[in-house]
Structures are given as C-alpha cells and as structure tokens.
Amino acid sequence: MKLILASQSPRRYELLSMTGFPFEAVPPPCDEEQVFSRLMRDIPDLDERRLVEKLALAKGMASLKEHPGCLILAADTIVTLDGTVYGKPKDKDDARSMLRTLSGRTHVVDTGVAILTSSSTELFSSVSHVTFQPLSPATEALIDRYAESGLPLDKAGGYGIQERGGLLISHIEGDYFSVMGLPVSEVFRRLSAYEID
C-alpha cells in the first residue's frame, strides 16, 4: 500500500522521513481555514484535543478521496493559551504580538493525527506544555529578529521549536517532535502495522 503524507509542511516531511517508510507528500485538497472555522461554528465547545483530531481527519478524508487505494497520514497542530487558539500569524506584526503574548507563560501544543485507508480510520493526538522565557530586552530583540525573518508565518503559535523560535523556550513537558508537528515515534509504531510499499 502506498503511503501519502497529506501535508505540505517541510517539518512533517522531515519527521516522517525518519521512519524509513517510503511515502509521497501531497497537500490535502481542502481549505484548512474553512474547516477550522466550520468546526468552531458547528461545535463551539469542542476541546483542543478533539479539534486537532477533527482537523487532521478532515485533511485525511479529503486526501483519501483523491487517493482511494492508499494509506493516508494527515496531521494538524494548534497552540492554545487560556482558551485562545493561536494559529499561523497573518503577518510579521501578528507574529511579534503572538510571541510576546506567549512570553513568560506556559501554553499547550496539541497535535492530532489521522491514519486512514478506505476501510479503516485511526485518530490520536499528543499534548505538550511549552513554557517561554519571560520578556526581557534580549527576548524582545530575538522576537523582532525572528518575526522579521518571516520564519514564524507558516507555524501555529508563530514559532518553530527546531529553529530560532526554540531559543524562546525555557522548558517543555511532552514530545519535542509533536511540538514540531508530528509525534513521530507513535506514528512509526502505528504505521508498522500496515504493509507499506
């Protein structure tokens, strides 16, 4: 069975490559913002874990329609603080604002994963708690440089743990790779049950 990574994320591509399974990365044919908005409207009391699982499932199902004979792996990551979801920043100023808001606080990173075939569905998620350094002149300067680089713009919460954004973190409780975008150890364990070509 051919494995399809339903993502255009270079980080998820890199992480899935660690497993050694052959795969093809194909962006899911769905509007993620539209799916998110619909879920928030239709199920307003949805908790973060179920939200990321439903987002991953929507991506996976859209991809399965295009690749019905394949094994589909889809994932989604959200960052929340005090009940507010921090998605991808709209622009560099939004990235600065997000990173300042997260500074000195502990936020939650939820990554949901869907593994689908035409006859089966597996859904699971991973939760991590990430604490940022408090604001200081050095942290402010780092946030400005990081936002100006444009790197935060394609990442939930406006940072990547594996790049300069990792310098903002004082500690993490949970799975480093899940914060990066894919709980790859659990993904490997689950994919091992399938016959992947």
**Residue environment code for 157-168, b if the CB has 16+ CB neighbours within 10 A, otherwise e:** bbbbbeeebeeb
> Residue 88: which domain range?
3-191
Radius of gyration of the chain (CA): 17
Residue 196 belongs to some domain of the structure: no
Q: Choose, from 76, 91, 94, 175, the residue flagged as catalytic.
A: 76
Active site residue 45: no
**Domain for residue 128, yes or no?**
yes
Distance CA 175, CA 182 (A): 9
CATH number at residue 135: 3.90.950.10
Residue 35 lies in a domain: yes
Q: Is residue 154 part of a domain?
A: yes
Domain count, the chain: 1
For 13-62, write each residue's pLDDT tens digit. 999 999 999 999 999 998 888 888 888 888 878 888 999 999 999 999 99
172 found inside a domain: yes
> For 99-133, what is each residue's pLDDT tens digit?
999 999 999 999 999 999 999 999 999 999 999 99
d(CA 48, CA 110) in angstroms, rounded, equals 7
